Amino acid sequence: MTKEALVRVEHGCPTEEELAAIITVLNEHYEQESATATVAETGTDRWTHSRRMRDTRRREWGRFAG
């Protein structure tokens, strides 16, 4: 998978206008990416759901703590 570089860095000192331009472009690109980014929700399977419903505490001795 090859993509062309969006930004090419060259030598020299950038001017304030060049820095402002690149910051604006990167900020806009970031906002577009974050607006369209989604995370696939992983649903719980039946085994996990039924396990959550079970009570896993040990009740052998009741309130006996000795």
* pLDDT tens digit sequence for 33-66: 988 888 777 777 777 777 766 666 666 666 666 5
DSSP state string for the chain: -----S----SSPPPHHHHHHHHHHHHHHHHHHHHH---PPPPPPHHHHHHHHS-----SSTT---
pLDDT on residue 17: 92
pLDDT on residue 7: 66
Task: Lowest mean pLDDT of 3-7, 18-22, 34-38, name the range.
Answer: 3-7
